[in-house]
Amino acid sequence: MLISDLQRIRAAIYAQPWAILPDYLDGIEALAERAMQADALNWLERDGHAARLAAGLESVASVGTRLEGARMSTVRDGTAVVPVFGPIFPRANLINSSAGGAPLDAIMADLRVAQASTAVDRILMVFDTPGGVVSGLGEAAMAIRESAKPVTGFVTGMAASAGYWLASQVSELVLEPAASVGSIGVVMSTSRQVQPGADGKQAYEIASSGAPRKRLDPSTDEGRAAIQEELDAIEGVFVADVAAGRKKSPGYVRRDFGQGGMVPAARAIEVGMADRIGTLEATLNGLARRVGPTPAVNRRAMAERDFELRQRRAS
């Protein structure tokens, strides 16, 4: 791969805010550059995420039967099981196919299929994700929070950053005993060329006079302050959504929900980040027992509410 290609890939990664664990962002950059010897990829291998995600996908695939019309979800006893595994990207791409990622558009498409299906009365989202790109998360969070059908969440492994942004919106969040949640916050990684590239060329960027903030220089106080302002604004949306989903005040979320760190299961339940500890099978069985089939008379109301929510988001 040419140096210029690497620079474009790196620039694309740096150009947007992420809600993801830092080591995974390093790993995504290394994957994008095909730097298979990179320390970041060695860290991910030691982390065991690939084997864990493969096991998670196998577990979901073994639950019930494929949900008609869905890309990756299954259904059992009226419960649609929607997996959210790996780094979250707005849509499928080369990087997330290499990293075992979760395309947000596919997740939300499966949720819409579950909402419309007469075979589905309730939805279980299963999470094991370090987080991902911020784009689209606000709308996805609202769709989960305002779902016409009850949505339960189950965390096997972790629901970090963007993953917890989504998981916090379910009506009940169950964690396996060794799970962790949190990493609430937003990060932007950036770099600036300080010497000619290996191809012997020096890159220059000149922004138009009326757009001084188009190419911020993180090496200056002004540049860092402008980037910080953008990240803080996104974090405000993140915190507000978590607060709405978990029925807490934004101040409580900022103070007691880990302050950017990961929180183990027992502590997460103690402070209200999740509801209880359990297993995937017990959670599925509990849903079948506790939530009976939705009466047919309510299906039209559900469809109408879903249509109204889509219209509201569109406007």
Angle between helices 22-32 and 39-47 (to 10 degrees): 120
Provide the residue range defining the domain that includes 111.
50-187+215-314
Residue 2 belongs to a domain: no
**Ramachandran assignment for 75, one of left (phi > 0), alpha (psi -120 to 50 degrees), beta (any other):** beta
Residue 56 belongs to a domain: yes
Residue 314's pLDDT is: 59
Q: What gap in Å lies between CA 122 and CA 81, rounded to an integer?
A: 9
> Can you give the pLDDT of all 315 residues of the chain as single tens digits?
334 444 544 555 555 565 665 555 565 555 555 444 455 445 455 555 555 555 555 665 566 788 999 888 899 889 999 999 888 888 765 444 444 567 899 999 999 999 999 999 999 999 999 888 888 899 999 999 999 999 999 999 899 999 999 999 999 999 999 999 999 988 766 555 556 655 555 655 666 667 677 667 777 778 778 878 888 898 999 999 999 999 999 999 999 999 989 999 999 999 999 999 999 889 988 887 655 555 444 455 555 555 555 555 555
Residue 14 belongs to a domain: no
Contacts of 6 (CB under 8 A, 6+ apart): 33
Counted domains in the chain:
1
Residue 305 belongs to a domain: yes
Q: What gap in Å lies between CA 132 and CA 315, rounded to an integer?
A: 26
Residue 278 belongs to a domain: yes
Q: Find the CATH number of the domain harbouring 119.
A: 3.90.226.10
Residue 79 belongs to a domain: yes
Residue 27 belongs to a domain: no
Helix or strand run (H / E) with residue 56: helix 49-61
Residue 220 belongs to a domain: yes
pTM of the predicted structure, to 2 decimals: 0.73
